[in-house]
């Protein structure tokens, strides 16, 4: 039976949180949250919990000192049956990255939500001064086909007034899965699989793009076609804003460079990471994002990334 991973002593703390997933050694989540807690004057800390043992994790967060938890891969779906309830966002996206607590009839309840979608939304609205001109009532576009792509579709369609949503990916079956799942959850009716450059050339240019793939040079024919589709969209007359979700080991990616050269506003993936973390802390601390230390957190994360490159 899996044992509880070794964790630092917490006797000196008033509040304890965890990031649960595997592998997570590279995560900057504890750094981000610790920076917020010091600013708010809270004697709290978040610890990495690298494990596949969900029952152990549930037992751990039921401790009275625990204020909540972050959940990452591979647990974003698997954790749901262990929770008492989901927020509408967690239910619609079908994945949980945050657990907070609620009391009902004198009993502590574990509630799951998804703050990744808020991270995407806030990245655009806090970095684009004129959304009506840039992306409202224009097509949106998602590059990729994983869990982040589903969150991006939700944010673009439900909150950012983008329609239709173009799906660009090297794997058609992944796109089909995303479209099918989003439709089943009520927000996938205007998704368009853009499979070829020829098709892309006939479409209106997007106003907002979310790139959800690792930073790599395309090698296969399918990867090269997907990159050609992206470049076609970037080179259309309307210039919008692109959120490049990849930031590890560096937020300065090839897609970011191509977008900037084409005249697009590039939003670094660290923005999404920071704002989804602030949304988590809204649940845990009761403080709004505007009460948190946004600029300091940006500087701390940027410094950590520079350190990682040395």
pLDDT (0 to 100) of residue 310: 53
Tokens of 155: 């944010």
pLDDT of residue 3: 53
Task: State how far the Cα of 24 lies from the Cα of 98, in Å rounded to an integer.
Answer: 15
The last residue of a domain, from among 114, 135, 161 = 114
Read off φ and ψ for residue 259, nearest 5 degrees. Answer: -65, -45
Do 104 and 124 reside in the same domain of the chain? no
Of all residues in the chain, the percent with pLDDT exceeding 90 is 87
Measured between alpha carbons, how far is residue 120 from residues 59, 64, 70, 177, 231 in Å?
Answer: 31, 32, 17, 21, 22
Residues 100 and 123 in one domain: no
Buried b (16+ CB within 10 A) or exposed e, 5-44: eeeeeeeebebbbbbbbbebeebbbbebbbbbbeeeebeb
pLDDT at 177 over 80: yes
Q: Is pLDDT of 2 > 70? A: no
Do 227 and 151 sit in the same domain of this protein?
yes
Tell me the Cα Rg of the chain: 20
Count of alpha carbons within 13 angstroms of residue 38, beta-carbon side: 10
Mean pLDDT, the chain, as a whole number? Answer: 94
DSSP, collapsed to helix, strand or coil, labels residue 272 as helix
- Asked whether residue 235 is assigned to any structural domain, the reply reads yes
Q: What is the mean pLDDT of residues 218-246?
A: 97
The answer to whether position 198 is within a domain reads yes
Cα angle at 213 between 211 and 218, to 5 degrees? 110
Same domain, 153 and 167: yes
Mean pLDDT, rounded, for 118-134: 98
Last residue of a domain, one of 82, 114, 146: 114
Query: End-to-end distance of the chain based on CA atoms, in angstroms?
Result: 39
- 277: pLDDT confidence band, cut at 50, 70 and 90? very high
- In a domain, residue 281? The reply is no
C-alpha to C-alpha distance for 179 and 165, rounded to whole angstroms: 10
More confident residue, 162 or 3: 162
- Whether the per-residue pLDDT at 72 is higher than 60: the answer is yes
102/123 same-domain check = no
Alpha helix segments (H runs only) across 62-203:
88-93, 116-125, 131-134, 147-154, 172-184, 197-200
Q: Is the pLDDT of residue 20 over 50?
A: yes
Residue 4 has pLDDT above 80, yes or no: no
Percent over 70 (pLDDT), the chain: 97
pLDDT bin (cut points 50, 70, 90) of residue 188 is confident
> For position 105, which CATH number holds?
3.40.50.10860
Claim to verify: residue 122 and residue 263 sit in the same structural domain = yes
Which residue, chain included where needed, has tokens 């044992």?
3
- Judge whether residue 9 has pLDDT over 90: no
144-162 mean pLDDT: 94
Q: Which CATH number do you get for residue 154?
A: 3.40.50.720
Q: Are residues 35 and 146 in the same domain?
A: no
Asked if residue 56 lies in contact with residue 2, where contact means CB atoms within 8 angstroms, the answer is yes
Q: What are phi and psi of 224, to 5 degrees?
A: -70, -35
- Alpha-carbon distance 278 to 115, whole Å? 9
Q: Looking at the predicted structure, is the pLDDT value of residue 1 above 50?
A: no
Q: Which of 243, 238, 214 is nearest to 226 (CA)?
A: 214
What number is the average pLDDT over the span 195-208? 98
| 276 pLDDT tier (thresholds 50, 70, 90) | very high
Residue 307 lies in a domain: no
pTM for this one?
0.93
Strand partners, 21: 50
Looking at the fold, whether 46 and 74 belong to one and the same domain comes out as: yes
All residues at 6 or more sequence positions from 172 whose CB lies less than 8 Å from its CB, including other chains: 193, 195
Domain, as residue range, for 214: 118-270
The pLDDT tens digits of the residues spanning 35-60 come to 999 999 999 999 999 999 999 999 99
Last residue of a domain, one of 61, 85, 114: 114
According to DSSP, the residues that pair with 45 across neighbouring strands are: 16
In whole angstroms, how far apart are CA 156 and each of 65, 113, 121? 37, 18, 8
Residue 284 inside a domain? The answer is no
Same domain? For 252 and 213 the reply is yes
- Same domain membership, residue 122 and residue 64: no
Considering the domain boundaries, does residue 293 fall inside one?
A: no
CB 197 within 8 A of CB 232: yes
Reply yes or no on whether the pLDDT at 85 is more than 90: yes
Query: Given the structure tokens 């959940």, which residue do they identify?
Result: 71
- Supply the pLDDT for residue 106: 87
Task: Provide the number of structural domains found in the chain.
Answer: 2
Is residue 293's pLDDT more than 90? yes
Backbone angles phi, psi at 215, to 5 degrees: -85, 100
Write down the pLDDT at residue 309: 66
Query: In terms of domains, do 145 and 107 share one?
Result: no
């Amino acid at each position: 039976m899996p044992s509880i991973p070794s964790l630092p002593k917490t006797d000196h703390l008033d509040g304890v949180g965890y990031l649960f997933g595997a592998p997570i050694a590279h995560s900057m989540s504890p750094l981000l949250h610790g920076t917020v807690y010091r600013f708010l004057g809270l004697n709290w800390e978040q610890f990495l919990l690298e494990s596949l043992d969900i029952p152990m994790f549930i037992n751990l967060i039921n401790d009275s000192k625990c204020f909540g938890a972050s959940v990452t891969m591979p647990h974003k779906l698997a954790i749901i049956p262990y929770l008492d309830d989901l927020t509408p966002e967690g239910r619609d996206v079908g994945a949980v990255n945050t657990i907070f607590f609620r009391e009902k009839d004198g009993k502590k309840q574990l509630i799951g939500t998804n703050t990744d979608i808020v991270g995407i939304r806030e990245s655009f609205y806090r970095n684009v001064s004129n959304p009506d001109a840039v992306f409202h009532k224009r097509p949106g576009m998602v590059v990729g086909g994983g869990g982040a792509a589903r969150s991006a579709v939700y944010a673009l369609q439900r909150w950012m007034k983008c329609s239709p949503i173009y799906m660009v990916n090297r794997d058609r079956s992944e796109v089909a899965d995303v479209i099918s799942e989003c439709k089943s959850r009520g927000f996938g009716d205007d998704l368009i699989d853009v499979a070829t450059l020829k098709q892309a050339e006939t479409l209106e240019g997007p106003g907002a793009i979310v790139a959800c793939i690792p930073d790599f040079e395309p090698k296969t024919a399918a990867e090269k076609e997907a990159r050609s589709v992206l470049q076609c969209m970037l080179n259309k007359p309307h210039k919008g804003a692109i959120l490049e979700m990849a930031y590890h080991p560096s937020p300065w990616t090839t897609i970011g460079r191509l977008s900037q050269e084409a005249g697009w506003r590039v939003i670094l993936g660290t923005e999404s990471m920071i704002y989804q973390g602030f949304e988590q802390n809204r649940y845990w601390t009761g403080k709004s994002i505007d009460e948190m230390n946004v600029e300091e957190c940006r500087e701390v994360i940027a410094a950590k990334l520079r350190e990682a490159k040395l």
